[in-house]
Chains A and B, each alone.
Chain A
Amino acid sequence: MKLNDAVFGFLLLILGITVLVIVQDYPKIPGQQVGPALFPGLVAVGLCVGGLILLVRGWLARGSTPWLLVDDWIQSPRHVLALVVLIGSVLFYILVSQWLGFLISAVLILTALFRVLQLSLARSVLIAVIATLVIHFAFYKLLRVPLPWGVLTPYAW
């Protein structure tokens, strides 16, 4: 997925200016001319300059380079679905795993990914369950990471 450099340049310029605006309110170290605003301020100036260079370069090259160039995967619905499921799985895990519990969330996520990567339903569920139990054992029992039980709390071991 390639975007024209000018797009990145523009975004970076906005980012740099935003940072400069935010750090204006930062106090100085008492008795010194330097403060917590100095370093991010300098970095933001660098981002603005870099962004400007990219913006100018991209704009000058707009005849020869397209604004957006997508790779072949966008034409394959299977690959697009796979990407959606991938990002969706992580978001699902962040939002839902605490109350649904690790075991159920993980099995659902793995099954969804296996299916979208063209495994049969039976194999997907089987490997999902095995992998979840192994990872749960490794992290919960061996490394003592507090993976959430969620709705399975009454059956916790």
Chain B
Amino acid sequence: MMDAVLLAFAMVFDPYTLMVMVIAACYGLFVGAVPGLTATMATALLVPVTFFMAPIPAVAAIVTATAMAIFSGDIPGCLLRIPGTPASAAYTDEAYAMTRKGEAEKALGASLVFSAIGGLFGTLVLIAAAPSLAEFASRFSSFEYFWLVLLGLTCAVFITSSKPVKGLITLFLGLLVACVGLGNPAGFPRFTFGNTETMAGIGMIPMMIGMFAFSEIIRYVLDTKPSGEIAVEKVGNVLRGQWTLAKKYPVQILRGSSLGTLVGALPGAGADIAAWMSYAMSKKFSKEPEKFGTGHVEGIVESGAANNSALAGAWIPALVFGIPGDSITAIIIGVLYMKNMNPGPSLFTNNPQNIYAVFLIFILANLIMIPLGILCIKAARRILKVPRNILMPVILLFCMVGTFAINNTLFGVGVMLAAGVVAYVLEANDFPIAPAILGVVLGGMLEENFITSMIKADGNFLAFFSRPIAASLAVITILIWVTPGLLALWRRSAVRAA
């Protein structure tokens, strides 16, 4: 094991990889700080570039960029009351209230330091949990994988969205898109309509770029209310007073980080949901709940830690099972497959140095967040003044060339356009997008394990419950399906009885 660890150190501390990490960090900090550009968009746009890199620098670029983007989304939230990324939306009002009171340094410093701590905590959980989970997963057969993927998709629909019917519909749409092409157990071309381009299936990367980047550009172009004025001229020393805060709120840091890691590990639930849940929890368990909303730093400490730890948590199911914990890891799984680092237990046994390298990258990224974050905060005024009417068209061009670059065909650009428009219309009508992405990413895995299991069981569906782990996963999944319905019925009968 030691030589694998040493090999990992050599791969990560290679000058090319380190340079890639610094550039990716600056890119991530910039994208996160500009409102209208999200962390998922940053990842999707980075993929065509990492396409041409070796696996470890590619992963390093993406991990660093997203970790930075999730932190730097707090900066415009604090200074402009506009969250830079959805993950910062939970405590934007709180941070802005602190800025109005003249405590901008404290708010920014808290979000920086506790984001780094949360990220490190999540990484430690990842390092501890992933290998043991992988060992457990090596006993999985097609039945267990089928129920696990179904459980993951169920979580994504029922836990993350308030409208399960609409969530299920977008999930089915995603699964349908995954059916296109030759990639099915029978190798039969489905929905290809004679077109050679569709035989490979609808490309996931052009779809992601369309759904996350192009739809944002549409939203920007149609925005009739431009953003506000920056509230403060100069930001002082952000690190001052942070140690005092750390000593004052240790429970909050721990609670935020744990909740974040757990929520991140749930498929479909990512940094933004982690931040909202953590903020709500912080308010509920606080000794000073009345101060929340007036510019109180406690909520920022807890949810700032939560959203960064969610990033690391999302990697746990992604690395061990190939089931993405959030949209960012959904994109990353695509990249891992492209780089021949197929997620699953074999990743831990056949080339463990790759896994150790990923862990090292996480630790390093969260450590360099602090110095680079301070620089970013200092440069915030200049970053926030970059005119978006210049930025957005350039990003559009980058999207088009990037999607072209994946397969060197214009079909990808067409997919990007279609996916972006559909995503925009669906989101405007309260259809959640996350289940669709999971459907596209996991559709193939779900079908393959389903068909394989059916063939093994000779068409007898009861065989799906014959193995102990499979049966337990099945019970949990079915419970999640029926609980909302049962609760509604129980509530209605309780009302009638009262």
Chain A positions near chain B (C-beta within 8 angstroms): 1-3, 5, 8, 12, 15, 19, 22-23, 26-27, 29, 32-36, 38-40, 43-44, 46-47, 50-51, 53-54, 71-73, 76, 79, 82-83, 86-87, 89-91, 93-94, 97-98, 102, 106, 109-110, 113-114, 117-119, 127, 131-132, 135, 139, 143-147
CA distance A118 to B221 in the complex (A): 11
How distant is A115 from chain B, measured CB to nearest CB, in Å?
Answer: 10
Contacts of A83 in B (CB 8 A): 218, 221-222
Task: Give chain A residues whose Cβ lies under 8 Å from the Cβ of B396.
Answer: 86, 89-90, 109, 113
Distance between Cα atoms of A33 and B460 in the complex (Å): 11
B217 within 8 A of A: yes
How far does the alpha carbon of A33 sit from the alpha carbon of B416 in the complex, in Å? 37
Residues of B within 8 A of A110 (CB): 393-394, 397
| Tally of chain B residues near chain A (CB < 8 A) | 56
Min Cβ gap A145→B in Å is 4
User: Is B471 among interface residues, defined by CB-CB distance under 8 A?
Assistant: no
- Find chain B residues with CB under 8 A from A23 CB: 190
Indicate if B344 sits at the interface (CB-CB under 8 A): no
Give A131's nearest chain B residue, CB to CB.
Answer: B394
User: If the complex has contacts A2-B428, A76-B224, A113-B393, are A39 and B413 also in contact, measured as CB distance less than 8 A?
Assistant: no
Most buried by A among B222, B450, B454: B222
Smallest Cβ distance from A27 to chain B, in angstroms? 7
Partner of A119, one of B224, B390, B413, B428: B390
B185 interface residue per 8 A CB criterion: yes
Question: C-beta contact mask, B443-463 vs A, less than 8 Å → 1, else 0?
Answer: 000110011001100010000
Interface readout for B53-89 with A: 1 if CB under 8 Å, 0 if not?
Answer: 0000000000000000000000000000000000000
Find out whether the CB atom of A73 lies under 8 angstroms from the CB atom of B222.
Answer: yes
Contact A145–B404 (Cβ < 8 Å) = yes
Task: Please tell me if the beta carbons of A143 and B52 are within 8 angstroms of each other in the complex.
Answer: yes
Q: Which residues of A contact B400 (CB under 8 A)?
A: 90, 93
Interchain CA distance A33-B404 in the complex, whole Å: 40
Residue B18, interface by CB 8 Å: no
Task: Evaluate whether A36 and B184 lie within 8 angstroms (CB atoms) in the complex, with A1-B428, A47-B169, A93-B413 already known.
Answer: yes
A residues in contact with B175, CB < 8 Å: 39, 43
B465 in contact (CB, < 8 A): no
Given A46-B168, A73-B224, A90-B413: A39 and B405 interface contact (C-beta under 8 Å) = no
Taken together as a complex, chains A and B put the C-alpha atoms of A46 and B176 apart, in Å, by 10
Cα A119 to Cα B417 with chains together (Å): 25
B450 near A97: Cβ-Cβ < 8 Å: no
B425 interfacial contact with A, CB 8 Å? yes
Residues on B with C-beta less than 8 A from A5 are: 429
B428 and A39: CB pair below 8 A? no
| Interface membership of B188, Cβ < 8 A | yes
Point out the residues of chain B lying under 8 angstroms from A39, CB to CB: 175, 179, 184, 446-447, 450-451
In the complex, what residues of B have CB within 8 A of residue A97's CB?
410
Is B414 an interface residue when CB atoms closer than 8 A count as contact? yes
In the bound complex, how far is the Cα of B408 from the Cα of A71, in angstroms?
A: 37
Instruction: Please name the residue on chain A nearest to B168 by beta carbon.
Output: A50
Residues of A within 8 A of B224 (CB): 71-73, 76, 79
Task: Flag if B390 contacts A114 (CB, 8 Å).
Answer: yes
Chain A residue with Cβ nearest B179: A40
Distance A83 CA – B424 CA, assembled complex (angstroms): 12
Which of B154-202 touch A at CB < 8 Å?
165-166, 168-169, 172-173, 175-176, 179, 184-186, 188, 190-191
State whether B454 touches A34 (Cβ < 8 A): yes
Alpha-carbon separation in the docked complex, A34 to B217 (Å): 43
Q: How far is the CB of A61 from chain B (nearest CB, A)?
A: 13
